[in-house]
Chains A and B, each alone.
Chain A
């Protein structure tokens, strides 16, 4: 009786839980970072659309077996300010749910984009005025703590501190700069920001997993660029030099009590992204055939995941 609703609901549930869990645990994405990012994006898009599509299909089910034609009927009636007589309370609730989800997803995404842009503008102003301009893009902050980051945008800034320069050998510094330049050049923020927005719209474990995974994958992409221009050893040494230095800012996760608790409860500390990245650089294995096929397979799955449901709804 719910016609199109079932397949969409099943898809929404799969993409909301088992698929992100599986993807987040898999180890192949670190060897196929770009394909894995595409797959995460497809999971996000298809997940969002099926999450809205499923209640929508429940709502218009009495009007037509198909979601698309049902929506056309609903739209025509709404245009004439009529509520179709065949819609019961359950359908109205489902339609309202779809509307609320849509407004929330779109609204939070826009708000998140605005907030990020405002934050970035403030950061850009600060480093443009208070930092040394090493070149058109590079800003050097007079600060002893090592840090390096990219302020993304159409005119990106790469910011490093004097502490960074002091802590690194020339080839290590080149690796850090190549890494940040890759972030800026390939607009990695455009990959990460939608996931951050979706996570704030639906603050649930799968969304957190997706954001964490995509953030890590984007770092790995930048690492690959840096490794190509500065070499793996220099990049690994730079990661250790910068990551191995505790920041001057008290960090919740680094207070001594928490640390002892963590070390007594588990003999193997959880892999942090930094550690993970160093280990990835050290294990540059030559992939076998099966491993090489995973990349194209992930791309195919990503396309299928978006095209399949779209075809199904529009058929």
Chain B
């Protein structure tokens, strides 16, 4: 895992991303212990404490990114949505920005009709003369 602060422990945000990456690559779900092992194997670093990973999983659950179910004595964790779904709904929220959400998400430039696109290109040609 990319650790931007040399020598220091990885930040929570980075851990959350790393754990989500593991979960997105494990559609059938996985346990906290397996996550610990995969992260260590992937980065070639010492294993994190399982409690650390459980804390991260808990945070992700509160953000509705992770679900869990009982599997024997442990829990199996699963990504609530695929990565593509998360990206798609981000894009949808932006592209469909309704009138009263405008404040939260202002796009660089809204989509325009074909006629307006033609006008835009004409305006641009004017600029480049």
Q: Is the CB of B105 within 8 A of A151?
A: yes
Contacts of B111 in A (CB 8 A): 243, 245-247, 251, 254
Tell me if A's interface is mostly helix, strand, loop or mixed. helix
Q: Answer whether residue B13 sits at the interface, using C-beta atoms and an 8 A cutoff.
A: yes
Q: Is the CB of A249 within 8 A of B83?
A: no
Q: Is the CB of A272 within 8 A of B87?
A: no
- The contact size tier of chain A is 35 or more
Contacts of A248 in B (CB 8 A): 95
Q: Which of A199, A215, A236, A274 has the most CB of B within 10 A?
A: A274
Q: Answer whether residue A127 sits at the interface, using C-beta atoms and an 8 A cutoff.
A: yes
**In the complex, per-residue mask of B107-123: 1 if CB is within 8 Å of any chain A CB, else 0:** 11111111111011101
Contacts of A112 in B (CB 8 A): 100
| A235 CB, min distance to chain B CBs, angstroms | 10
Query: Total interface residues on B, using CB and 8 Å?
Result: 44
Contacts of A152 in B (CB 8 A): 104
Q: Is the CB of A147 within 8 A of B94?
A: yes
17 CB < 8 A contacts A-B: A116-B101, A119-B101, A123-B105, A129-B17, A131-B90, A133-B17, A151-B104, A179-B108, A199-B100, A238-B108, A242-B108, A249-B95, A251-B111, A275-B112, A275-B116, A275-B120, A278-B120
Where the two chains meet, the residues of A that have a C-beta atom closer than 8 Å to any C-beta of B are: 112, 116, 119-120, 123, 125-131, 133, 141-143, 145, 147-152, 159, 161, 176, 179-180, 183, 188-189, 192-193, 196, 199-200, 211, 215, 218-219, 232-233, 236-240, 242-249, 251, 253-254, 259, 262-263, 269, 272-275, 277-279, 281-282
20 additional A-B pairs beyond A189-B104, A239-B109, beta carbons within 8 Å, are A125-B65, A126-B86, A129-B86, A130-B83, A141-B91, A149-B107, A151-B105, A183-B106, A188-B106, A218-B106, A238-B109, A239-B108, A242-B108, A243-B117, A246-B111, A247-B95, A251-B111, A269-B113, A269-B115, A282-B127
